[in-house]
Every structure is written in structure tokens, then in C-alpha cells.
Amino acid sequence: MPTIKRLAVSLALSVLAMPVGAAPIKTPADANGPAQAEIPPPSGKGRVVIVVSGALGPDYNEDYAERVAKLGYDTILLKGDDILSPDKQGGARLQQAIARAQGSSNALPGKVAVIGISKGGGGALTYATKLPDVVSVVVVYYPATAFLLKLHANLKSFAGTFKVPVLALQGAKDTYKNCCLLSTIQTIASGTKELGLPFDLVVYPNANHGFIKGANYRAADADDAWKRTTEALKQHLSE
């Protein structure tokens, strides 16, 4: 019996000692930047990854941000509406958020990665790609691009503003509100290719909008997109 009790106590202590993800540290919008949730890595410090949510808001993408944090990154979750915003101040807010994140006690020094989902992907393409001094890579999932057609007569000129490597993950069957059509991101990708800029477009033939969770979830495509994302983070945040 004493041996069994010792084993039980040892097992309980080992379970208690297992690392768990830290609760998000939420900060309201202020003079230093937009509202955010910081999810520190399970132990120690990590390079910064900024996740910009879709139109459904940060709560919907918090599980994704937590998954990123568990890889060992200090993860900052922002609201897509704050970055791709009608007042066109999203770029300034993103830069504020990056500066604030780099000053966190949970952050390791160095450039950050930016991941944008849907509307957040449109914001990331618009602003994060122009910040080579502080951003090492941009990853976008089915990014909003319809608005770009109204702003740029030639999407090649828009693609020419990219100064950061981009990984774009796109469903071929995405027709959601016509916000994120394959043809638009293909035109952007074609422009970057002509200009010799690093832009990797991955198309999932049977995927629709939001294929990483929810009603349109496709396990194989979501897993492949996650693998490519983690590889991009590892490559560009190890530099």
C-alpha cells in the first residue's frame, strides 16, 4: 500500500508540473496601440507572432492563436477590423502593436511574423508586407482582396509594394461574399512572380472560405496549411 500511495502522489505531482498554456493577457485600446490579447509561450520567452483576426473577431480565432503560442511564440491577437479599417489608420495601429509586442517581457528580440485570417489577411497584405525592418514573413489565410480592386487599377503595382516574403493559403471554391476570390490572389501572385518577389500561393482545390474551422472545415487542407505555416515561422523567425 505505501508503494502504491507513493506512486499515486508521484503521478499527481507530475501532472501538476506539466506545462499549460497561459491565459490570454488582454489589453484595451489606448495611446500605445489597439486592443489585443497576448498569449505567452508555455514556458520562457519566444519570438513574436501577430495574429490578425477575421471579421468574426478575435474570440473566434483565439484557439488558433493559442495553438501558435504552444509552438513557443509570444502570440498577439488583434481584431481584423482595427487593421483593415475604414479610417485607413490600420497600418499605424499595426506598427504600434508590433512595437508594444516587442517590448513585452515575454518576447525575444527580433523581427515578428504576421498571420492574417480573412479580413485580417487583407490588412496584413496591405500593411505588414511593407514593414521589412520589423516583419520577417506574412502568412495569410483566404485573405480579403475584393477591396483592392477598387483601390488599384493594376494589382501588379500593389504586388510591387511587397517587401516581405508572403505565404498565401487559399481555397479554390471560396466565393464568400466575393471578398476573397481565388482569381484576385492569383493576379497578385502573378505580379510578384513577374517582379521576382517571394510570394508562395498554395491553392486547395476543394476548399471554401474558412476551411480551417467551422462549417467549411476540411481536415486535410487545414492540416497542410498549418504545416506550411509552422514551417514558414520556423524558417523566418530563426534568422
| Residue 21, pLDDT score | 54
| Residue 38, pLDDT score | 98
How far apart CA 121 and CA 114 sit, in angstroms, is 9
| Residue 153, pLDDT score | 79
What pTM value is reported for the model? 0.91
Nearest CA-CA partner of 147 in 57, 211, 208, 86: 86
Q: How many CB atoms lie within 10 A of CB 171?
A: 25
Q: How many CB atoms lie within 10 A of CB 114?
A: 34
Q: Which residues lie across from 154 on neighbouring strands?
A: none
Q: What is the DSSP letter of 213?
A: S
90 torsion bin: left (phi>0), alpha (psi -120 to 50), beta (else): alpha
- Cell numbers standing for residue 5: 500511495
Where the chain has pLDDT below 70, the residues are 1-22
Q: How many CB atoms lie within 10 A of CB 27?
A: 16
- The SS3 call for residue 74 is strand
Nearest CA-CA partner of 84 in 116, 49, 58: 116
- The per-residue pLDDT for range 70-125, each reduced to its tens digit, is 999 999 999 999 999 999 999 999 999 999 999 999 999 999 999 999 999 999 99
How far apart CA 85 and CA 225 sit, in angstroms, is 27
Phi, psi of 77 (to 5 degrees): -105, 120
| Residue 13, pLDDT score | 37
How far apart CA 117 and CA 50 sit, in angstroms, is 11
Which segments within 54-157 are labelled E, that is strand?
Answer: 74-78, 112-117, 135-141
- CA–chain centroid gap for 67, Å, is 11
Query: Looking up cell 501538476, which residue turns up?
Result: 16
CATH of domain 19-236: 3.40.50.1820
Nearest CA-CA partner of 134 in 157, 155, 159, 163: 163
